[in-house]
């Protein structure tokens, strides 16, 4: 059955390519906007930094957290999602997300196959960088988001189901959300602000992760077996690469090497540092010892949480956001046992909780003094903007959860979501891929 799926996928891919081959039409845009080499260098580099967050960053971050029998299967998720979503993005995803707006709901098909997406700047998507650079930077975001979700169903999801789910999710959840918030869609029109993806990336993946964890059920032996991370240095290597890459994730979202970029980077780094320190202190007081995984988790929580706010706030708001992230995510994870779902790698506790916190913090702390293209938050006397942010939290979480649920049911009908119990006992590496990580 899996082989059959492979054949079908292969054929599909072949047809798509065949139908689309040819050089894209020369861009019809007026070349009045001039490419700035410094801004372009920064956005290209930022795209590379986001890539490194995903592979090898997130791949190893997650890979180190699972048991050694599942490390390849876990790393495989990041690599395959990167590859498949990138291809889909070129073929159709970018057009759905950022193509000319259709009623605030979705982008049109005008840019399918990157048709018309050339090297001249697009007036709203980075007026000083090639349009393709914007498209490429956004591609990395589209790829990393479903890869985040994969942490929730690690160690038990069938490979073919994982690929199918991620591909469909990127088209049916990610692309619309990106359009609503960044592509000129209805939430953008309402004034919702999400600098680098607190809602589009983190809430959406956190909500999807929750649904995945519940629908797939717990890992065998959850709660009784020893399931400690098999290689924490690997996770810490991943953490370092995530931290490094996040400068591009948030800094690159300024779409140029400008003041917003540097202030976003300062906010990002501040929140990460504060998240690490606060999580460390929380654990130290609560459990008696500080842990290395705690520091790493706190840093990632800080990074995820500050993401939507980073371009609109100063360093002190970032300090507070980092502190809140460290505390809230720590307790969210400690208490998750009470809710009884098995979110293997804590996507909900870190990205879900962090994303919500970050979007609300944006509504609180955003300041036009920092970024004139932003808005003033509640603290600066603007409750209506805060309201829009609350609305965005709810809409994104619900939309992602519902569509995720439907997709899972659909796929469960086609191919099973979960590996067989013996396969799970053996581990994904041998059962899904005929490989062992270490020998």
Residues 203-262, interacting with another protein (CB under 8 A): 226-229
Q: Given the complex with another protein, which of 277 and 401 has the nearer CB atom? A: 277
Taking the C-alpha atoms of residue 320 and residue 316, their distance in angstroms, rounded to an integer, is: 6
CB of 15 vs its own copies, minimal distance in Å: 12
Any contact of residue 45 with its own copies (CB under 8 A)?
Answer: yes
List of residues 6+ apart from 336 with CB closer than 8 A: 343, 346, 348, 349
Stretch that binds its own copies, among 102-110, 178-186, 210-218, 259-267 (CB under 8 A): 259-267
For residue 244, state whether it binds its own copies (rule: CB under 8 A): yes
**Contact partner, 346, from its own copies, another protein, none, Cβ < 5-8 Å per class:** another protein
Nearer to its own copies, 204 or 432 (CB): 432
Which residues in 132-170 are b (16+ Cβ under 10 Å) and which e?
bbbbbbbbbbbbbbbbbbbbbbbbbbbbbbbbbbbbbbb
User: Any idea which residue has 């619309």 for tokens?
Assistant: 176
| Residues near another protein (CB under 8 A), total | 22
Instruction: List the one residue from 148, 168, 215, 274 that touches its own copies (CB under 8 A).
Output: 274
Task: For residue 203, give the nearest of 221, 184, 177 by alpha carbon.
Answer: 177
The reply to whether 33 sits near its own copies by the rule CB under 8 A is no
41 vs 281 by CB, closer to another protein: 281
Per-position x/- string for 149-188, each x denoting binding to its own copies as judged by CB under 8 A, each - no binding: ----------x-----------------------------
CB 81 within 8 A of CB 143: yes
Residue 183 Cβ vs another protein, minimum distance, rounded to whole Å: 36
In angstroms, the CA 320 to CA 345 distance is 25
Site for its own copies in 116-135 (CB under 8 A): 118-120, 128, 130, 132-133, 135
Stretch that binds another protein, among 311-319, 370-378, 401-409, 426-434 (CB under 8 A): 426-434
Q: What angle do CA 113, 115, 117 make, to 5 degrees?
A: 110
Tell which one of 333, 364, 375, 403 touches another protein (CB under 8 A).
Answer: 333
Residues 271-290 contacting another protein, CB under 8 A: 283, 287, 289
Residue with tokens 């995945």: 212
Buried-exposed string 43-59: b where 16+ CB fall within 10 A, e elsewhere: bbebbbbbbbbbbbbbb
Q: Which does 264 bind (CB under 5 to 8 A by kind): its own copies, another protein, none?
A: none
Q: In this structure, are residues 301 and 206 in contact, taking their beta carbons and an 8 Å threshold?
A: no
**Cα 307 from Cα 170, distance rounded (Å):** 20
* Contact region with its own copies (CB under 8 A), list: 292-300, 347-355, 384-392, 404-412: 292-300
For 108, residues 6+ apart whose C-beta sits below 8 A from its C-beta are: 95, 99, 100, 101, 102
Mark the segment that binds its own copies (CB under 8 A) among 17-25, 146-154, 200-208, 345-353.
17-25
Residue 157 is given by DSSP the state B
Residue 200 binds which of another protein, its own copies, none (CB < 5-8 A, kind-dependent): none
Helix (H, G, I), strand (E, B) or coil at 106: strand
- By the criterion CB under 8 A, which residues form the site for another protein? 226-229, 283, 287, 289, 291, 293-294, 297, 330, 333-334, 337, 346, 425-426, 430, 434-436
């Amino acid at each position: 059955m899996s082989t059959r799926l492979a054949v079908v996928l292969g054929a599909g891919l072949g047809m798509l390519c065949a139908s689309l081959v040819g050089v894209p039409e020369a861009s019809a845009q007026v070349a009045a906007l001039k490419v700035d080499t410094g801004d372009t260098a920064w956005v290209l580099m930022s795209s590379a930094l986001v890539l490194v967050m995903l592979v090898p960053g997130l791949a190893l971050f997650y890979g180190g957290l699972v048991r050694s029998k599942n490390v390849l299967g876990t790393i495989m998720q990041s690599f395959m999602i990167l590859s498949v979503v990138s291809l889909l993005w070129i073929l159709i995803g970018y057009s759905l997300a950022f193509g000319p707006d259709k009623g605030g709901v979705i982008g049109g098909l005008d840019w399918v196959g990157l048709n018309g997406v050339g090297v001249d700047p697009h007036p709203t998507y980075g007026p000083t960088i090639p349009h393709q650079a914007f498209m490429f930077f956004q591609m990395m975001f589209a790829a990393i988001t479903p890869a985040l979700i994969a942490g929730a169903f690690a160690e038990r999801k069938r490979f073919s189901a994982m690929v199918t789910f991620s591909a469909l999710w990127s088209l049916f959840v990610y692309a619309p959300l990106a359009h609503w918030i960044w592509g000129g869609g209805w939430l953008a029109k309402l004034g919702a602000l999400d600098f680098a993806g607190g809602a589009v990336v983190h809430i959406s993946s956190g909500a999807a992760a929750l649904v995945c964890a519940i629908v797939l059920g717990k890992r065998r032996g959850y709660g009784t077996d020893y399931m400690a991370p098999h290689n924490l240095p690997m996770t810490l290597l991943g953490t370092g690469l995530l931290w490094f890459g996040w400068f591009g994730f948030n800094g690159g979202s300024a779409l140029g090497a400008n003041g917003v970029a540097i202030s976003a980077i300062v906010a990002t780094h501040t929140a990460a540092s504060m998240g690490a320190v606060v999580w460390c202190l929380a654990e130290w007081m609560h459990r008696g010892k500080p842990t290395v995984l705690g520091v790493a988790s706190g840093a990632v929580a800080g990074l995820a949480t500050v993401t939507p706010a980073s371009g609109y706030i100063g360093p002190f708001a970032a300090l507070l956001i980092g502190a809140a992230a460290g505390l809230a995510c720590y307790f969210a994870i400690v208490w998750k046992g009470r809710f009884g779902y098995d979110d293997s790698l804590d996507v909900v506790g870190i990205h879900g909780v962090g994303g919500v916190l970050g979007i609300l913090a944006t509504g609180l702390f955003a300041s036009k003094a920092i970024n004139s293209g932003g808005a003033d938050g509640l603290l600066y006397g603007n409750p209506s903007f805060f309201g829009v942010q609350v609305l965005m939290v709810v809409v994104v979480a619900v939309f992602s959860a519902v569509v995720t649920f439907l997709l899972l049911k659909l796929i469960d009908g086609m191919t099973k979501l979960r590996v067989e119990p013996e396969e799970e006992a053996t581990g994904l590496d041998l059962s899904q891929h005929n490989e062992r990580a270490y020998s």
